[in-house]
Chains A and B, each alone.
Chain A
Amino acid sequence: MTAASQGKFLRSGDTALVVEFGDRIDRDVSARVLSLAQLIEAEAIPGVVEVVPTFRSLMVHYEPLVLSHGDLERRLLVLIDRITAQERPGRQWRLPACYDPELGPDLTDVAARTGLPVAQVIERHSATLFHIYMMGFLPGLPYLGSLPAELELPRRENPRLRVPPGSIAIAMAMTTIYPLESPGGWNLLGRTPVAMWDLRRPEPSLLAAGDKVTFAPISLREYESIRAQAEAGTYQLRPHSESAA
């Protein structure tokens, strides 16, 4: 267990163990993290409570009264031998996105700061196939990467106190979608009418780590129409499966 790509065990108290595959945001690292998460879930190891994939590591929450740290590490070493850096085919979403300045109040500012026309900002954002590295910060909030380099910007100097749900935002090399109204410092490009988080659904979060996402530009009128259907519960967005490349 020396090479970082092979995973490094780090303690986080007596009920969580970190398996770290790297120290930066990287698709190969992410593939390893998600691969180990899947192997652990398939194995259903007694004493493992849940796993949380992040950009560069997997956190394994466990009950040490059932599974000691030593036994957990032994079980994980066997699984780590079977991980793959190949991204697994996953769900692919095409999310309707309205890039109207009314819903994306930072659109013109992002255009000015990147030196791109507004239409180019929209074109580059919506032409990118994003990978969900992890979920976090809020229930149902995805960290999607990677943004084309020419759209990379820092967070806003003054975070907003209220970002509306569905807001599509960018910061650094990432894009995200705010699932709930929340404070937020990212640059807002538009909004999706699809609920990222809905407690009426058996699985309340639409997205999960490992999914792929593209944004499909829609008009303000289409946005209102889909939003009304979504609120009435008559709109359902389905993912399509990626073919195993």
Chain B
Amino acid sequence: MTAALRVISPGLMTTLQDLGRPGYQRLGIPVSGALDPISLRAANRIVGNPAATAALEIAYQGPVLAVEADSIRIALAGAGAPVDILDENDAARRIALLQSVRLVRGQRLRVGALAGAVAYLAVEGGFAVEPMLGSRSTYTRAGIGGFAGRAVAIGDLLPLARQTVDDREERMLPLLDLASPARYRVVLGPQDDYFTEAAIRTLLDATYTVSPATDRMGMRLDGPKLEHAKGFNIVSDGIAPGAIQVPGNGLPIVLLADRQTTGGYPKVAAVISADLPALGRLMPGAKVAFQAVSIDEAEAARRQMAALIADLEASVVPARHAGLIDDAKLMAANLVSGVVNARD
């Protein structure tokens, strides 16, 4: 029998994502990929996968999945959530994020409501789906990648690469800093000249609220309107990750993983690449403020992020060191309720 996870309940929007599908934007194909690539990498490293392995991106409300393989090993990273292993008589055992755990046939994994936008469920060995145009990321709008090009649905069998995993010592990541920056850094342009000076000041001074109309394509922000200096239609040009476009209503939209490749609204600025994973974690209702930085500062921040990623990948330790976790430090790092010590 093929090894699989059976979807008992799909959650709100559970999709397969990796680090995306670059290289086809000239044909109109968005890059897609994880909204929070840092948590994706963390979940993969904990189960021993290459960091770019495709994993389930869980948005807002988690799924219930039944194990239809002899044994599997999983780990979750990202927004805090109550995660339980249910056995055949429905007895629940709460498990921790950032720690691998082995499940056997007949057990179910239940992920509850998330305290942030996304969390990642990595499975040792990964999912057995063919890459499409070089990536397993799901782009639902065109039905590309993932499982049949869509979010998982009740009854789906998500094929796994491995029928069984070794019963070895579990591993964990002692700390994953998912704190939001006080202000998200942006580089102004390419069309900042399409806005009044007052609009630029507003963008950099105001506090915006993430709108419920946010999705994987774009984060819509509610707050003060930005005034266009010379209309809101431009001849379409390319769209960078994190670009902040401002349509006629004056409210900014930050373009995320499933952003369209080109667009005809002026883009006042772009969130720097080092701050995009944190932005991808924000839920509707969260507050967002911006700060302008130079391109050199943005590049330095990206180098720093690369160093943090390298450090994170080297920090996975055997789970017997779990007792060394400092709960206060975890809370300070914004690993909100739902994360429990693996020893509890």
Chain A residues with CB under 8 Å of chain B are: 10-16, 18, 20, 23-25, 37, 49-59, 61, 64-65, 68-69, 134-141, 143, 180, 197, 199, 204-205, 208-209
> A59 contacts which of B133, B143, B237, B295 (Cβ < 8 Å)?
B237
Given contacts A12-B240, A13-B241, A18-B237, contact A52 B261 (CB under 8 A): yes
Shortest distance from the beta carbon of B146 to any chain A beta carbon, whole Å: 13
Q: A49-B23, A65-B306 are in contact. Are A57 and B238 (CB under 8 A)?
A: yes
CB distance from A70 to the nearest CB of B (A): 9
Asked whether, in the complex, the Cβ of B238 is within 8 Å of the Cβ of A52, the reply is yes
Contact B240 A135 (CB under 8 A): no
- Segment from B60-68, B84-92, B282-290, B297-305 that makes contact with A: B297-305
Q: Are A11 and B237 in contact (CB-based, < 8 A)?
A: no
Query: Is A15 a contact of B241 with CB atoms below 8 Å?
Result: yes
- A sample of 15 cross-chain residue pairs with beta-carbon separation below 8 angstroms, ordered by A number, consists of A10-B191, A11-B270, A11-B295, A12-B270, A13-B272, A14-B270, A18-B237, A50-B23, A52-B262, A55-B235, A65-B303, A135-B28, A136-B28, A138-B28, A139-B29
B27 close to A (CB within 8 Å): yes
List of A residues within 8 angstroms of B303 by Cβ: 65
Instruction: State which of A49, A56, A65, A204 has its C-beta within 8 Å of the C-beta of B237.
Output: A56
- Distance in angstroms from B189 CB to nearest chain A CB is 4
Query: Which chain B residue lies CB-closest to A16?
Result: B240
Q: How far is the CA of A153 from the CA of B324 in the complex (A)?
A: 69
What A residues does B261 contact at CB under 8 A?
52, 135-136
Find B22's partner among A25, A50, A65 (CB 8 Å cutoff): A50
Chain B residues with Cβ under 8 A from A61's Cβ? Answer: 22, 25, 240
Q: How far is the CB of B277 from chain A (nearest CB, A)?
A: 13
Asked if B82 is at the interface (CB within 8 A of a chain A CB), the reply is no
Known contacts A54-B237, A61-B22, A140-B27; 7 further A-B pairs (Cβ under 8 A): A12-B238, A13-B271, A25-B235, A49-B23, A61-B240, A65-B302, A135-B27
* B126: A residues at CB distance < 8 A: none
Given contacts A137-B262, A139-B144, A204-B133, contact A54 B299 (CB under 8 A): no
Closest residue on chain B to residue A69 by CB atoms? B295
Task: Scan residues 180-234 of chain B and give those whose CB is less than 8 A from a CB of chain A.
Answer: 186-191, 234
- Chain A residues in 8 Å Cβ range of B243: 12-13
On whether the beta carbons of A52 and B187 are closer than 8 Å, the reply is no
Which of A52, A56, A58, A138: most chain B Cβ within 10 A? A52
Would B302 and A18 count as touching, CB distance under 8 A?
Answer: no
| B271–chain A nearest beta-carbon distance, Å | 7
Q: Name A137's contact: one of B24, B26, B260, B295 (CB within 8 Å).
A: B260
Question: Is the CB–CB distance between B190 and A12 below 8 Å?
Answer: yes
Instruction: Determine the distance from Cα of A197 to Cα of B143 in the docked complex, in whole angstroms.
Output: 12
CB nearest neighbor in A for B29: A139
Q: Count how many pairs of residues, one from A and one from B, have CB atoms less than 8 Å apart in the complex.
A: 142
**Residues of B with Cβ closer than 8 Å to A?**
22-29, 132-133, 141-144, 186-191, 234-243, 260-263, 267, 270-274, 295, 298-299, 301-303, 306
The B interface, classified by DSSP as helix, strand, loop or mixed, is: mixed
Which of A55, A68, A136 contacts B299 (CB under 8 A)? A68
Given A12-B189, A136-B261, A199 and B144 touching (CB < 8 A)? Answer: yes
Task: Name the CB-closest residue of B to A58.
Answer: B238
**Distance in angstroms between the alpha carbons of A214 and B6 in the assembled complex:** 49
CA gap between A139 and B267 in the complex, in Å: 22
How far does the alpha carbon of A25 sit from the alpha carbon of B298 in the complex, in Å? 32
Q: Which residues of A contact B236 (CB under 8 A)?
A: 54-55, 134, 136, 143
CA A52 to CA B236, docked complex, whole Å: 12
Give the residues in chain A near B188, CB-CB below 8 Å: 11
Q: How far is the CA of A197 from the CA of B262 in the complex (A)?
A: 18
Knowing A54-B262, A141-B28, the reply to whether A13 touches B242 (Cβ < 8 A) is yes
Q: Do A54 and B240 contact each other (CB < 8 Å), given the known contacts A68-B299, A69-B299?
A: no
Residues of A within 8 A of B237 (CB): 18, 20, 54-57, 59
In the bound assembly, the distance between CA atoms of A197 and B27 in angstroms comes to: 10
Q: Establish whether residues B27 and A134, one from each chain, have CB atoms under 8 Å apart when the complex forms.
A: no
Contact between A50 and B28, CB atoms less than 8 A apart:
no
Most buried by A among B27, B235, B261: B27
Q: Which residues on the A side are within 8 Å of B29 (C-beta)?
A: 139
Tell me how far the C-beta of B201 lies from the nearest C-beta in chain A, rounded to whole angstroms: 19
Q: Most chain-B CB neighbours within 10 Å: which of A25, A57, A68? A: A57
Cβ distance A142 to chain B, nearest Cβ, rounded Å: 9
Known: A11-B190, A13-B273. A64 touches B302 (CB 8 A): yes
How far is B143's CA from A199's CA once the two chains are assembled, in angstroms? 10
Interface centre among B144, B189, B243, B261 (most CB of A within 10 A): B261
| Residue in B closest to A197 when the chains form the complex, CB atoms | B142
CA distance A190 to B299 in the complex (A): 49
Q: How far is the CA of A24 from the CA of B239 in the complex (A)?
A: 17
- With a 10 A CB-CB cut-off, give which of A12, A14, A18, A137 has the most chain B CB atoms: A14
**A208 near B26: Cβ-Cβ < 8 Å:** yes
Using known A-B contacts A49-B23, A61-B22, A141-B28, determine if residue A14 contacts B187 with beta carbons closer than 8 Å: yes
CA distance A139 to B258 in the complex (A): 12
**Pair A204/B27 contact, Cβ less than 8 Å:** yes
Closest B-chain residue to A138, C-beta based?
Answer: B28
